[in-house]
Amino acid sequence: MAVPLIQTIPSILAIVICIVILIMLNLNYLLNRFLPSLLFIIFFVGILLWAVTKLVSVLLPDTMNETFMLFWKVSSLTILILSLLVIAYFRDLLLYSTLAIPSVVVSFFAGITLGAIWIGAIWGSDFITVSFDNISGWNTDYDTWFMVILLVYLVTVYIFMFSLLIKGLFKASIKKQKTQLVFIITGMAIAAIGGTAINFILNIFYPTLGDMDLIFIVVGFALVAIAYLRSPIQIYFAPVIAQRLIVINNHGIPLLTHDFCEPSEKALTMDSTLISGALSGIVNILQEALASDSIPTMLKLEDRVLLLEKSNSALYALIVDDESMVLRSALKDFAKEFEKAFKHILKDWKGLTDLFDDAYKLITEDFSFILTSRRIDKYET
């Protein structure tokens, strides 16, 4: 017997939204090669597959083999669990080479949840079963204990994300960053509360509405993606520390220096000319010793890390406390924009450094997640 078409509406809407968001994210990644866009793409591909499996579950007839449908539904839930795990890893994948303790805890509960559903499916116990009805098609029936396990996992993921976002909101120092985080938190709230509590209530009183958890989760994370796409660089709300930015021409002469430290904080006091000469010398020695035209992208000391980026006309150096993909991406963006903005000046530079004053506007854009609001206001006026 055919299931009412209204049951397919949530899945179809979710698929359309996911496809639109994926197109936007792919365009952003192709243009900027920005890693967060790639992580969002992976997440929404997972959600898209989850939506497709939901739609197929509604359309398949009641004559389907129950064992096949059981594994189909378990696979569908597995996709959702793994997709949420990508979001939980988001900050660690961007900032660190290892997982932080909260991510390890989330991974632990994800492993328990996945183990429970697959063991239940393989052993064929009442822990997880499937059934068909004429209103909503194929449904999954979970044991109370599994519902508790799944709820614990979902709560753990959302608490971890909310705590991270709220901390970022309090640390945010510019309006654009705060606005983005408010939209992201709102989207997460829609996905978390709507996809669990509200969906449960709606299914009790209005069972013909279909998989509304799918709609809440997709709409919520779509809002997160849209907020991200409005200003991708602002996603780096986590604490990252940079000390100094130096731009050196091909003759080893500093064109621009910028100290990220406030006067009241501990700052580097070395002369930029001395640093520039030392960097040029080190780079030249390494190139000759290794018989290579390329330059090192990073020099690591015990308490400092030097990130390097080379263009046709200049060498860009960023002195930081620790290696960070966030800062690497920002340095690369700044190098491209600096080269484009001062291309003609760099070709025939006469030694006047005030020609590069406008470069500080580029700094406020590419390193806005480091600068405080007072310093940004200084350069925007």
- CB within 8 A of 176, min separation 6: which ones? 231, 234, 368
| pLDDT of 262 above 60 | no
| Residues in a beta bridge with 309 | 316
Confidence of residue 374 (pLDDT cuts 50, 70, 90): very low
Q: What is the pLDDT, as a whole number, of residue 137? A: 76
Q: What is the pLDDT, as a whole number, of residue 340? A: 87
Q: What is the pTM of this model?
A: 0.68
Q: What is the pLDDT, as a whole number, of residue 205? A: 67
Q: What is the pLDDT of residues 18-29, one digit of tens each?
A: 999 999 999 888
Q: What is the pLDDT, as a whole number, of residue 377? A: 39
Supply the DSSP string of 117-183, one letter for each residue: HHHHHHHT-TTEEEEEETTTEEEEEE-HHHHHHHHHHHHHHHHHHHHHHHHHHHH--SHHHHHHHHH
Q: What is the pLDDT, as a whole number, of residue 187? A: 92
- Rounded to 5 degrees, what are φ and ψ at 254? -70, 130
Confidence of residue 206 (pLDDT cuts 50, 70, 90): low
What are the start-end ranges of the E strands in the chain? Answer: 128-133, 137-142, 242-249, 254-259, 298-300, 305-310, 314-320
DSSP-assigned letter for residue 242 = E
- Average pLDDT over every residue of 353-369: 76
Q: Which of 177-186, 272-281, 326-335 has the lowest mean pLDDT?
A: 272-281
Look up tokens 């991406």; give the residue.
329
- Average pLDDT over every residue of 38-49: 90
- Average pLDDT over every residue of 167-176: 73
Highest mean pLDDT among 16-25, 157-166, 249-258: 16-25
Q: Which of 170-179, 340-349, 359-368 has the lowest mean pLDDT?
A: 170-179
Q: What is the pLDDT, as a whole number, of residue 281? A: 76
DSSP-assigned letter for residue 368 = T
Please indicate whether residue 260 or residue 315 has the higher confidence score (pLDDT).
315
| pLDDT of 263 above 50 | no
| pLDDT of 362 above 90 | no
Confidence of residue 62 (pLDDT cuts 50, 70, 90): confident
- Average pLDDT over every residue of 43-64: 87
Q: Could you give the C-alpha distances from 239 to 36, 159, 172, in angstroms and in order?
A: 16, 19, 10
| pLDDT of 85 above 60 | yes
Domains and CATH numbers, the chain: 5-235 (1.20.1070), 242-380 (3.30.450.70)
Q: What is the pLDDT, as a whole number, of residue 116? A: 86
Confidence of residue 189 (pLDDT cuts 50, 70, 90): very high
| pLDDT of 308 above 50 | yes
- Which SS3 state, helix, strand or coil, does residue 258 take? strand
Please indicate whether residue 95 or residue 77 has the higher confidence score (pLDDT).
77
Mean pLDDT, rounded, of the chain: 78
Q: What is the pLDDT, as a whole number, of residue 379? A: 39
- Average pLDDT over every residue of 255-279: 61
Q: What is the pLDDT, as a whole number, of residue 234? A: 60
